[in-house]
Structures are given as structure tokens and as C-alpha cells.
Amino acid sequence: MLVPVDGGQLAVETHDGDTAPVLAIHGVSGSRKLWNWVAAHNFSLITPDLRGRGDSTALPGATIKQHADDMLRVLDALDLAAVTVCGMSMGAHVAVELAVRHPDRVRALVLVDGGFPMPAHAQLTQETLSAAFAPQLAAQERTWTVDEYLAVQAMVNPLIDATDPLIHDYFAHDLTDDGHLRLPGDTLIADATDVVFGESRWQELTMPTWFVHAEWSTGPDSPPAYTVEQAQAFRAELPVLHEPVLINEVDHGGTVMTPAGAAVVAEVLAEALRPELTASASTTNSTSSGS
């Protein structure tokens, strides 16, 4: 379906399942197909292509606030008063922004390897950030077949299974019919800049929140985006945050793009959807706020 937003229309896919609807928000270089593996666990998912990605490529502008505004339009278009929101990487930052600005529309949050300040970002500058995305920018200069593009991605992401049909579907969605990458370079850099140098309002969250993080960042034995100690520090500071969940032997992308990672995210998401947990946490938070 297409949802009217500022500047055009946002492409949104829905997956029918046995749960209450969940708004699932992908990361900076992803698309709605990122949630293929979680959808396989029979969740009812609402998965937008964020502006500049997939079938929303034509939409101009890209900031965390703009993406959050778009998500609100999606909820309005589907006549959903409040939903559980699951965001991965940059999508987790968008989820936090949506939840802080519109707490009445978000009943619970599941943040996957994002949404909180990432310590490694403190070492980045505008110049080094652009350099980090040089391979993605260079890839836009040529045309690809899906198999060529998938082969390169499998070398860059050693933990993905190139024979997985869901992987093929995911990377095929990155390409136009004539083999060009859909995501414009300026959109990629603008969003990454907002994530790295913008301000996350995670300390203002008031709804039940879950945090899932990976053992590695990019491939086996690489330093994680978030250590166990850092995750526990967030929990100590944020009363509504449940016990963080570490996914062993997966990296950042593998949290949702591998069967093992998606199974853990699905388990946490199922917990977040339990109404009694949400109601209990909300009551506890209200009592704490009023004391």
C-alpha cells in the first residue's frame, strides 16, 4: 500500500499473523524486506520502506524526525491508535523519536542494536563517517544483477546465507529494474549523520522497552556496537527498560537477517506483546513518576 506523507507517498507492506500489529522499522541502508525473517514467526507486521529506500526512493529528505513523522502517518492511514514498535539500528532511533514525541501511539518498544548512544560513534567525524560508507557510494556507480550484488554482499557479510531465498529477496529489493542501487548516496549520508551526530531522546521513554543487541558488529569476533556492560548501564538509567538480551554469535545485521538472530528477536517481541507485562510496566512507571 501507499501512504501519503510530506513530499509524496510511502510504500508500506503488511504481513498477516496471529498477533496484534507491530510497526517494524528498518535500518539506514535496509528496506522493508529486512523483516522477512521475523515475519516468518507469524507476527502481524507493518513494514514501511523508509523514504529514499525500496519503493519509497522518490521521496525527498531524510532525518530521524522526518522518518518518525512518516511512521505516524502510517499508523493514521491504518487507523491504529497504538502499537508495539520494533526498530533495528537506525530504525530503533526512529522508534525512540516516535515514542518520545507521540507516547500515546506506542504501547511498547523493542530496540534491536540501536536506539541508544553507540560509544563507537564518539570517535567519528563528518569526514570519517563519509569514508565509512565509501563502498556503498562506489557501488552506485555501476549496474548489478541480483546474483552479482548478492555475491558481493556475502563477502562483506560473512554470516549471511547466500542460498537463503529470503536473502535473495532482501537484496533484490535494493535494485531497480535496470540494476542500479535504489538508495541515493546523499540520503544514506544524511541519515547516518543524523544517527551519529544527532541527539537520541532515549532517557525520556515512558513505555515498556526491550533492548536486543549482538555479540559482534561486522563479522565474527569484531567489537560489538554495544557491550553487555553498556547495555546494563542503559537499564540502570531507564526504569522502563527490561533486562537487555544478548544474541550470541551474530553480528549487527545478523540480529534480524539470520534465522538464529530473528528467532531471538521474535521471542523478545512476543514478550513485549503480552498485554499484562505492558500494563504492569506502565503502572510501575506512572507510580514512580508521581512519587
Interval 157-211: pLDDT, tens: 888 899 999 999 999 999 999 999 999 888 999 999 999 898 889 999 999 999 9
Query: pLDDT exceeding 70 applies to what percent of the chain?
Result: 95
pLDDT at 214 over 80: yes
pLDDT at 217 over 60: yes
**pLDDT score recorded for residue 277:** 57
pLDDT at 279 over 70: no
**pLDDT score recorded for residue 286:** 41
Q: How far is it, in rounded angstroms, from Cα 252 to Cα 44?
A: 24
Which has the minimum average pLDDT: 18-27, 76-85, 127-136, 272-281? Answer: 272-281
- Residue 119 — very low, low, confident or very high, per pLDDT cuts 50/70/90? confident
pLDDT at 109 over 50: yes
In-domain check, residue 269: yes
Give me the phi and psi of 189, to 5 degrees please.
Answer: -70, -40
Q: How far is it, in rounded angstroms, from Cα 271 to Cα 245?
A: 12
In-domain check, residue 275: yes
CB of 235 closer than 8 Å to CB of 244: yes
- Residue 283 — very low, low, confident or very high, per pLDDT cuts 50/70/90? very low
Q: How far is it, in rounded angstroms, from Cα 100 to Cα 80?
A: 18
86 or 127: which leads in pLDDT: 86
CB of 12 closer than 8 Å to CB of 46: yes
pLDDT at 290 over 50: no
By C-alpha distance, which of 281, 273, 278, 276 is closest to 20? 273
68 or 156: which leads in pLDDT: 68
**pLDDT score recorded for residue 278:** 55
By C-alpha distance, which of 185, 178, 186, 250 is closest to 219? 250
Please give the residue range of the domain that contains residue 191. 2-121+185-290
**pLDDT score recorded for residue 117:** 93
In the DSSP assignment, the letter for residue 181 is: B
**pLDDT score recorded for residue 288:** 39
pLDDT at 120 over 80: no
In the chain, the amino acid numbered 276 is E
129 or 183: which leads in pLDDT: 183
Which has the minimum average pLDDT: 20-34, 156-170, 223-237? Answer: 156-170
Average pLDDT over residues 105-126: 89
**pLDDT score recorded for residue 157:** 87
93 or 118: which leads in pLDDT: 93
**pLDDT score recorded for residue 62:** 79
In-domain check, residue 237: yes
In-domain check, residue 149: no
In-domain check, residue 208: yes
In-domain check, residue 127: no
User: Which residues sit opposite 209 in a β-bridge?
Assistant: 109, 241
In-domain check, residue 169: no
In-domain check, residue 129: no
CB of 170 closer than 8 Å to CB of 150: no
pLDDT at 80 over 50: yes
> How high does pLDDT run on average in the chain?
91
Number of domains in the chain: 1
Which CATH number is 269's domain given? 3.40.50.1820
